[in-house]
């Protein structure tokens, strides 16, 4: 059955211009809020949906400019025979090359034959659905898709409320599962009449006074109601059609009563079963109403794990669970730049897939700080929390996220950062300076691509910088926190080991009272604190706490070079929008 090969949207809601070649299977749209993800789904639904009347408003036009027509072109391939009929649709059949991604106006043998459906809305707000080809437009030929043929391409919309698909209403998934149709016209009509009569017999005695007053008044005014007015169900309200036939469980409870998540899960499964009749499904916020394990089951039912791609699915998500479950080539990042929307595949590389498994939330952000390890993640989060205390807007509120690279080779931080840059994210790499960059030209390549980086000074790790740069009060605060985290006895033992027995914790505390923390002691504390075993702060939570509660308040008294580095971090995070 038909699948979408090319989508073009112009002047529709938040999208001024967009062209996209979707994949044949799962197309999961991700991006910041208000980036146009749901608008893309709505555009497909409005263009392909079997609706006779759709109400458009001025707000549906980009920037409310009704002088620029809304145009939505959906080009379909894998056409069923009836849509590939030269006698009926020959003037509108076109060609699509999967290799070049281009639509050619004339079909030919070595490319796929496709059909373009166009939805156009002008200033009069009246929509028109037509077929389109360049040659037909030049000859001023117009043709619409026949209604019976249009129903072959209607996408299944699995929305927030999926319950309309749990009855035999027009367009529901139940009507696509098999060729069976309820032929119960006379029985339904009789059921409606019986309901009206039964209700009247019960309601009459309860509303006797009102009915008598109505009869008396009508007779007085010459309004013909007969000898006695009755309270019956309105015939318009109880006309019963196919939509009144709904699914119920074995106890008679309607399945419409299912929770939102359960309803969506069931409808998605039914849509999979009905794939032979409708192969395109639209799912906005796929995670809505579902716990992680049921969300995973929903993605499975949509064919996310199957190489055969039973459905072409267009979905949006803000859920890291969804991203972890999908392959990177099923993710499409929506971006807007200079009025043009783009949709870019995340790609199929091992690096992207690894980052996706490790930090899926980063793909849902606008700006990414790629950190060498947990220490840098905790530090950046803690300093951001301190800035918020001082009245700033949080980096998280601006669509920022953090990626923990696992504390390995700093080269991988730049490689990972470059992958995010290619996908349109703002990227900052934040690393220690105690390990060399092994790949020649790696930093230059990253910067040339638009990335920025922060590295500590003179071969120092983050702990070295803190103990060397903070004031005596700040260093004292770090020692107090370290004692809370790992205990005074262990700290004293570690200091003795690193100093070859020259100092213990008490010695250092006495020296502080006499002359403050001398450079030699500060260097010793920095090296000791990042001991491979029983490090004092090396976790996200601990570094976040000491940065928020000690480093941030001590910044005005810190060494200038350290403050310059923090100022660079502030400028970058503050610029993210």
Percentage of the chain beyond pLDDT 90 is 65
- In the block, which residue shows the tokens 């006379």? 186
- Average pLDDT, stretch 172-199? 65
User: What does the pLDDT read at residue 134?
Assistant: 96
Closest to 333 (Cα-Cα) out of 352, 347, 346, 351 = 346
Encode pLDDT of 370-417 as tens digits.
999 999 999 999 999 999 999 999 999 999 999 999 887 899 999 999
Residue 212: pLDDT above 90?
no
pLDDT of residue 187: 65
- Widest distance between CA atoms in the chain: 115
Higher-scoring residue by pLDDT: 102, 577? 102
Query: CA 38 to CA 82: how far, in whole Å?
Result: 31
Query: What whole-number distance in Å separates Cα of residue 375 and Cα of residue 432?
Result: 10
Per-residue pLDDT of 438-451, as tens digits, reads 899 999 999 999 99
Give the H or E element holding residue 522. helix 519-529
- What residues are paired with 120 via a beta bridge? 71, 128
Domain range summary for the chain, segments of one domain joined by +: 3-155, 189-279+288-310, 365-577
- Dihedral sign for Cα 48, 54, 58, 59, please: negative
Could you read off the pLDDT of 112-143 as tens digits, one per residue?
999 999 999 999 999 999 999 999 999 999 99
Q: Tens digit of pLDDT for each residue in 141-165? A: 999 998 888 888 988 888 655 556 6
- Note the pLDDT of residue 101: 94
pLDDT the model gives residue 3: 95
pLDDT tens per residue across span 241-283 = 555 566 666 666 666 666 767 776 776 666 566 555 568 999 9
- H-helix or E-strand spanning residue 483: helix 472-486
Instruction: Check residues 428 and 218 and name the one with the higher pLDDT.
Output: 428
Query: What's the CA angle centered on 289, arms 283 and 295, to 5 degrees?
Result: 65
Q: Are 333 and 300 in contact (CB under 8 A)?
A: no
What is residue 51's predicted lDDT score, i.e. its pLDDT?
76
> Does residue 240 have a pLDDT over 60?
no
Residue 68: is its pLDDT beyond 60? yes
Q: pLDDT digits over 14-48, tens only?
A: 999 999 999 999 999 998 878 899 999 999 999 99
pLDDT of residue 145: 92
Q: Provide the CA 146 distance to its chain's centre, in angstroms.
A: 35
- pLDDT given for residue 448 in this prediction: 96
Q: Which pLDDT does position 16 carry in this prediction?
A: 96
CATH class of 3-155: alpha beta
The sign of the torsion formed by the CA atoms of 266, 268, 271, 272 equals: negative
């Amino acid at each position: 059955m038909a699948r979408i090969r090319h989508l073009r949207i112009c002047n529709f809601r938040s999208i001024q211009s967009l062209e996209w070649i979707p994949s044949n299977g799962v197309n999961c749209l991700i991006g910041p809020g208000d980036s146009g993800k749901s608008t893309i789904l709505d555009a497909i639904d409005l263009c392909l949906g079997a609706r006779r009347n759709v109400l458009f408003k001025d707000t549906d036009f980009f920037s409310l400019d009704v002088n620029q027509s809304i145009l939505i072109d959906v080009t379909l391939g894998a056409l069923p025979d009836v849509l590939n009929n030269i006698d009926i649709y020959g003037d509108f059949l076109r060609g699509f090359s999967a290799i070049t991604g281009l639509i050619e106006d004339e079909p030919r043998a070595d490319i796929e034959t496709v059909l373009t459906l166009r939805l156009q809305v002008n200033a009069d707000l009246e929509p028109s659905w037509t077929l389109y080809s360049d040659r037909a437009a030049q000859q001023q030929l117009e043709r619409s898709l026949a209604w019976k043929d249009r129903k072959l391409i209607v996408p299944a919309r699995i929305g927030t409320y999926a319950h309309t698909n749990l009855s035999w209403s027009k367009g529901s998934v139940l009507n696509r599962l098999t060729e069976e149709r309820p032929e119960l016209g006379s029985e339904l009509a009789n059921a409606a009449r019986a309901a009206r009569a039964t209700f009247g017999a019960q309601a009459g005695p309860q509303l006797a006074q009102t009915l008598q007053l109505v009869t008396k008044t009508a007779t007085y005014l010459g309004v013909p109601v007969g000898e006695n007015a009755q309270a019956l169900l309105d015939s318009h309200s109880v006309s019963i059609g196919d939509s009144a036939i709904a699914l119920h469980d074995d106890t008679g409870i309607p399945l419409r009563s299912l929770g939102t998540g359960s309803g969506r899960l069931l409808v998605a499964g039914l849509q999979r079963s009905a794939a032979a009749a409708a192969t395109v499904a639209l799912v906005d916020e796929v995670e809505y109403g579902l716990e992680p394990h049921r969300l995973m089951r929903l993605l499975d039912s949509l064919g996310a794990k199957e190489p055969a791609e039973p459905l072409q699915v267009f979905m949006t998500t803000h859920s890291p669970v969804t991203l972890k479950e999908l392959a990177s080539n099923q993710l499409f990042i929506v971006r807007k730049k200079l009025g043009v929307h783009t949709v870019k595949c995340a790609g199929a590389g091992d690096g992207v897939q690894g980052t996706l498994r490790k930090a899926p939330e980063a793909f849902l952000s606008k700006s990414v700080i790629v950190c060498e390890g947990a220490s840098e993640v905790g530090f950046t989060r803690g300093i951001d929390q301190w800035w918020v205390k001082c009245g700033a807007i949080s980096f998280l509120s601006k669509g920022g996220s953090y990626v923990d690279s696992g504390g390995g080779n700093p080269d991988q931080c730049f490689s990972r950062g470059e992958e995010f840059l290619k996908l349109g994210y703002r990227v900052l790499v934040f690393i220690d300076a105690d390990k060399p960059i092994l790949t020649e030209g790696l930093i230059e390549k990253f910067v040339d691509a638009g990335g920025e980086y922060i590295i500590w000074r003179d071969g120092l790790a983050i702990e070295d910088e803190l103990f060397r740069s903070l004031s005596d009060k700040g260093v004292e605060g770090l020692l107090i926190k370290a004692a809370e985290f790992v205990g005074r006895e262990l700290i004293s033992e570690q200091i003795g080991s690193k100093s070859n027995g020259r100092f213990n914790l008490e010695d250092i505390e006495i020296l502080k009272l006499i002359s403050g923390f001398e450079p030699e002691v500060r260097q010793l504390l920095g090296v000791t604190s990042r001991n491979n075993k029983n490090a004092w702060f090396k976790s996200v939570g601990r570094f976040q706490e000491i940065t928020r509660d000690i480093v941030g308040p001590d910044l005005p008294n810190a060494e200038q070079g350290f403050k310059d580095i923090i100022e660079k971090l502030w400028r970058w995070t503050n610029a993210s929008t």
